Amino acid sequence: MKKKWLSALLVTAMVTGLAAGCGNNGEEEPSEEGGKTLEVWLAPLDDDTEKNWGDLLGDWEKEHDCTVDITVIPWDKYQETYSTAMSSGEGPDVGYMYNEMILPYIESGAIVDMTDYITEEDEAEYKYLQNGYMMDGQYGWPLVTGVPFVLYYNVDILNELGEQPPETWDDFVRICEKATQDTDGDGEIDQYGYAVGMNTTDIGPTQILNAYYYSVLWQNGSNIYNDDMKSVRFADEAGTEAMTWMKDLTQYMNPDFMSYSWSDAFSTIFGEGKAAFGVNRSAQTDETTYAESYPDLNWDYVTSLKNVDYGTFGATDSLTLMSDADDPDLAMEFIKYVTGAEFMEQYHAKCPGAALTNSEPYVGDPKMERIYTEDTDKWHGIQVGPCGDEILTQLAADLQGIMTGELTVEEGLAEAEEYSNQLLDEYWADKE
Amino acid sequence: MKKKTGIKKIEPYLYITPITLILVLFVIGSVLISLTLAFTKYNIITPPVFRGIDNYTRILGDAKFLKALGNTLKLLVYIVPLQMVSGILMSVFLLATRKRLLGKIANCVIFIPFLCSNAVVGVVWRQLLNGKIPPVEWFFGLFGIEPSMLLGDSKTALITVAMVAIWKWMGYYSVIYLSGLMSIPTTCYEAARVDGAGKIRCFFSITLPMLKPTIILTLFLCVTTSLRNFELIFNLTGGGPNNATTDLVMYAYTLCFRTSASAGYAMAVSNVLFVVVLIIGLMQQRLLRRDASEL
Amino acid sequence: MQLAKRFVKAGVSDIVLIAIIIMSIFPFIYMFMMSFKSTINAFDFDFSLDKLTLEQYVKVFQVDNFERYIFNSVFVAVAGVILTLAVCSLAGFAFAKMDFKGNNKWFIFLVLTLIVPSEVIIVPLFLIARGLGWLNMYRALILPLPTAFGVFIMRQAILDVPSDLIDAAKIDGCGNFKTFIRVVLPVVRSSLLALAIFTFVGAWNNFLWPLVACSKEEMKTLPLALSLMKTQYNTDVGLTMACAVINFLPPFLFYIFMQSKFKEGMTMGGVKG
């Protein structure tokens, strides 16, 4: 009796196991007659991406006799949505990926190299194509680039302190120190040097790296990976110094920085005039939007401070052509269209961003233009490297640990370094 | 005639087939897959590669795993005693005041948090603590606590998660204890009162011993539920800051679905948790059986 | 003196009761209040009456697929309840009143599956659903809902049904199934209702499994929709709270109307198990 039971169990288990192991790559349902559907997944690019894009795509859809089905994936579920969908063949035709996450998908063949689709005109027209060139192929087609995180300052506070806009780390620390004070005399500090928010519950954990960490790391001349990608570099001397400097800044930050996301910190502390400095993702229309959101704020910005070098984070997020795409040519045409001047000019009029092509004019506010002219070398994206997501997630966690004082700078960096190098060792060992 | 007995014979099996299929497919199937694939490296996209016990040896040296295991156990330590004690006291108090209007209201509303989904509880509490709300700030200010740092600081985040969990389950346990308390015959108390025992004395020498079966039952319930706080953690803190609230389930989830998919390793991690749960379950079986034989 | 003492005592217990009440419902009051406020600023806590508005609810129904989320939640919960009641009471009847080989062993085997917490098997469960091609389908959300716990409860309830009743039905010429439907189910309807409540609330509030099993927008349920209520980098607090209220309301209203049944249903695991 018992044996029968056992064998019956084993058989069921094997059947389910097999079914699960093999996966099924979902036979695509035959598309409804006539019009095709192009499935496009985007990240939240503005406050209502689906509508803003949808409104502009009507003509293109008619012209190509297809429907574009746009899905916006929220940041806090971004990776899991992609990984579950791709593993079950439920992925889109056109995806949207950022450098940290793209590598595994390239390696598993989920993304197509777009090199063959690039014409000479494209090369002349699209300014940032090289940003999407990685692992010897054009795997990404840059869509969002050039809205770097920049350092905003409160002009009134700086004037009151008799300070000029900061250029170096020393300037920055000096002003922060002076600015952190009790302005109404009740014995409690109510004005801070630096408005910071490092809570990541609502957004991906690596966003605090984007907002605060990369700039410091790069300005001190270090980087995430060593050039050979076989080990990480962020814990070297320059990296440690950068982290220490950042940790020391906590005394000038709003003490509850762990309860705000970076954007909340900017809007509720810097925006309300309670801090000398704040970091935000720049937009070309900041002049207009800030005048509405923060009418009393007299602000300006420096793109990047300089210690050893300049540097701040400007994302390069790319559209990707998925290998599951039913009609790659159509998908490719879509990619080129939405990154091209005609679409982007209209889109940027609503939701500003940097021009992606040479024929798209600058439409933003004059105050922000210098990011794209004289300061254009001061910002860039991060390296594409193996295990990017794991490494950066760990680094972000350790950054939080360091900033809250749970770990010392050395402990935190050592933990992240050990973890990352171990992953990289395994990764390269697998390759051989 | 013969045919009829044939049908009769298989009829009961027909009745139990649907649920058996469901449980074997989803539960037993999952356990077996988990045990098998834990020996592989599997990124859920390309086929699994057999790796022997690599995943288990990796566990031993994985600081993140140890932290997650530590957090799981810490949650247990924070939640279980407090939940038990507060549940008993609360139900005794509610029993004593159940005839009054306020008591009736309290009895009714205390169950509300338990009705609410973990997603809503997580979102609302996060907003409540982080939202700079004057009454909340005032209340925590009485104890010198800045509420917005409770979830933000890695030292307090886990305790805060535990408190929210206790808050959520409070109504549940007080209902269970109340039904236990109601089943204690009042004659016991009367007899004690005749002997001149005070209220506190009564509580320790009558109420607690009589509640013993309920207490053992809830102890195990409490232990198992405190291992299952994924949804709350996911919505309250997302596992942060610095993984301070990442428990084993959260860690396995992150491994499999968030970073580039180490499903094999994730299942090895889940299996460790499963063993813990299994041990607790077996202890419960044994204790309950002993308890039943005593009756 | 005695009287004064009693008053003080009553006063203290009143204060404690009020504290308990406030503690239990304050978060929900806050949730309701924020949902009636027109604000995008999470940190604004100014409630004057003229600022009350239904704007958030209008907005939340304009969110793409929102009606669909509600439908999904309702459909999954209702179908889950029906499925659970059907399979669990059938099996419970067989285990309680039918004599067959391996009755006890089979039952114990099923109950043993209760030891496995659903969170622990979430990864393999995902793989199974994927293997069957069920991801983003209602069946993936509904079929795993019945548990051995339901069988256990129904078996207990049906054991208490007097055998005379069943024998009488059989003498009247009812087969097993007819007896089950006509005689047994009406007698155990109270347990059925309790199990229905238990299953409904569990399915309605389920978060982890839909999160994993459904990547498509149009298959999401209400608890998942909560985290969609945000702008690019900020949670839209008013909108989130409106969605939270909608999520919270059905179990809450049911509870208000049948309190004791709810308490019984939702604590079944503790009292009887």
Q: Does residue A49 sit in the same domain as residue A191?
A: no
Q: Is B256 on the interface with C (CB under 8 A)?
A: yes
* C208-C213-C214 Cα angle (round to 5): 105
Question: What would the 3-class secondary structure string for A207-245 be?
Answer: HHHHHHHHHHHHHCCCCCECCCCCCECCCCHHHHHHHHH
**Are β-strands A275-281 and A192-195 bridged in parallel, bridged antiparallel, or unpaired?**
parallel
Least confident of A199-208, B26-35, C201-210: A199-208
Report the percent of chain A where pLDDT is more than 90.
37
Q: What residues of chain C lie within 8 A of the CB of B11, using their CB?
A: 98, 176
| pLDDT value of residue B291 | 59
| pLDDT value of residue A150 | 93
CATH T-level topology, domain C64-228 = MetI-like fold (1.10.3720)
Residue to mutate among B110, B111, B120, B275, with most C CBs inside 10 A, is: B120
Q: What residues of chain B lie within 8 A of the CB of C16, using their CB?
A: 93
Q: What residues of chain C lie within 8 A of the CB of B39, using their CB?
A: none
Q: Does residue A157 sit in the same domain as residue A208?
A: yes
Contact C255 B111 (CB under 8 A): yes
- Give the tens place of pLDDT for each residue, C114-152: 888 888 899 999 999 988 989 889 999 999 999 998 999
Q: Does residue A182 sit in the same domain as residue A211?
A: yes
- Give the tens place of pLDDT for each residue, A79-114: 888 888 887 778 899 999 987 788 888 888 889 999
The rounded distance, in Å, linking the Cα atoms of A341 and A355 is 8
Nearest to C124 among B22, B110, B267 (CB): B267
Nearest to C135 among A71, A90, A203 (CB): A90
Report the percent of chain C where pLDDT is more than 70.
91
Q: How many CA atoms lie within 13 A of C20 on its CB side?
A: 28
- Give the tens place of pLDDT for each residue, C98-114: 888 888 999 999 988 88
Contact A16 C131 (CB under 8 A): yes
- pLDDT confidence of C46, banded at 50, 70, 90? low
Mean pLDDT (whole number) for A261-289: 87
CB B175 within 8 Å of CB C259: no
- Give this complex's ipTM: 0.88
| pLDDT value of residue A27 | 37
Interface of A with B in 250-279 (CB under 8 A): 255-260
- Give the domain range for residue A240: 149-313+386-431
- pLDDT confidence of B73, banded at 50, 70, 90? very high
- For residue B290, pLDDT beyond 80: no
Q: Does residue A125 sit in the same domain as residue A165?
A: no
Q: Taking each helix axis from N to C terminus, what angle separates A328-339 and A49-64, rounded to the nearest 10 degrees?
A: 120
Mean pLDDT (whole number) for B255-281: 86
Distance (Å) of CA A88 to CA A85, A92, C128: 5, 11, 11
CB C239 within 8 Å of CB C116: no
Q: CA B149: distance to chain centroid?
A: 25
Per the domain annotation, does A5 fall within a domain?
no
- For residue B280, pLDDT beyond 60: yes
| pLDDT value of residue A6 | 43
Per the domain annotation, does A24 fall within a domain?
no
Neighbours of chain B (3+ CB pairs under 8 A): A, C
Q: Does residue A67 sit in the same domain as residue A174?
A: no
Question: What would the 3-class secondary structure string for A349-395 be?
Answer: HHCCCCCCECCCCCCCCHHHHHHCCCCHHHEECCCCCCCHHHHHHHH
State the total domains in chain A: 2
Mean pLDDT (whole number) for A296-323: 90
| pLDDT value of residue B5 | 56
CB B72 within 8 Å of CB B65: no
The rounded distance, in Å, linking the Cα atoms of C267 and C193 is 13
- For residue A12, pLDDT beyond 70: no
Domain boundaries along the sequence of chain B: 69-237
The rounded distance, in Å, linking the Cα atoms of A428 and A423 is 9
Least confident of A97-111, A309-323, C19-33: A97-111
Strands, E assignment, chain B: 40-41, 49-50
Two tokens at A421? 């190098």
Two tokens at C233? 């980098």
> How would DSSP label each residue in A289-358?
HHHHH-TT--EEEES--BSSS--EE--EEEEEEBTT-S-HHHHHHHHHHHHSHHHHHHHHHHS-----BT
Mean pLDDT (whole number) for B254-281: 86
Mean pLDDT (whole number) for B95-101: 88
Contact B149 A104 (CB under 8 A): no
> How would DSSP label each residue in B87-152?
HHHHHHHHHHTTTSHHHHHHHHHTTHHHHS-HHHHHHHHHHHHHS--HHHHHHHHTTT--GGGTTT
Query: Could you identify the residue written with the tokens 């097999």?
Result: A18
- For residue C85, pLDDT beyond 60: yes
Q: Does residue A264 sit in the same domain as residue A234?
A: yes
The rounded distance, in Å, linking the Cα atoms of A44 and A39 is 16
Burial per residue of A13-23, b for 16 or more beta-carbon CB atoms within 10 angstroms, e otherwise: beebbebbbeb
- For residue A33, pLDDT beyond 80: no
| pLDDT value of residue A365 | 81
Mean pLDDT (whole number) for A8-12: 45
Closest alpha carbon to C43 in A263, A133, A121, A129: A263
Neighbours of chain C (3+ CB pairs under 8 A): A, B
Per the domain annotation, does A131 fall within a domain?
yes
Q: Does residue A341 sit in the same domain as residue A393?
A: no
Per the domain annotation, does A377 fall within a domain?
no
| pLDDT value of residue A85 | 83
CATH architecture of the domain formed by B69-237: Orthogonal Bundle (1.10)
**Are β-strands A133-134 and A141-145 bridged in parallel, bridged antiparallel, or unpaired?**
unpaired
Q: What residues of chain C lie within 8 A of the CB of A278, using their CB?
A: none
Q: Is B288 on the interface with C (CB under 8 A)?
A: no
Closest alpha carbon to B239 in B125, B166, B127, B161: B161
Identify the CATH number of the domain in which residue A153 sits. 3.40.190.10
Per the domain annotation, does A67 fall within a domain?
yes
| pLDDT value of residue A9 | 44
Contact B63 A419 (CB under 8 A): yes
Q: What residues of chain B lie within 8 A of the CB of C23, using their CB?
A: 167
Using DSSP, state whether C13 is helix, strand or coil. Answer: helix
| pLDDT value of residue A79 | 81
Residue B273 or A432, more confident:
B273
Q: Is B4 on the interface with C (CB under 8 A)?
A: no
Residues recorded for chain C: 273
CA distance B197 to chain A (A): 51
Residue of C nearest to B224 (CA): C117
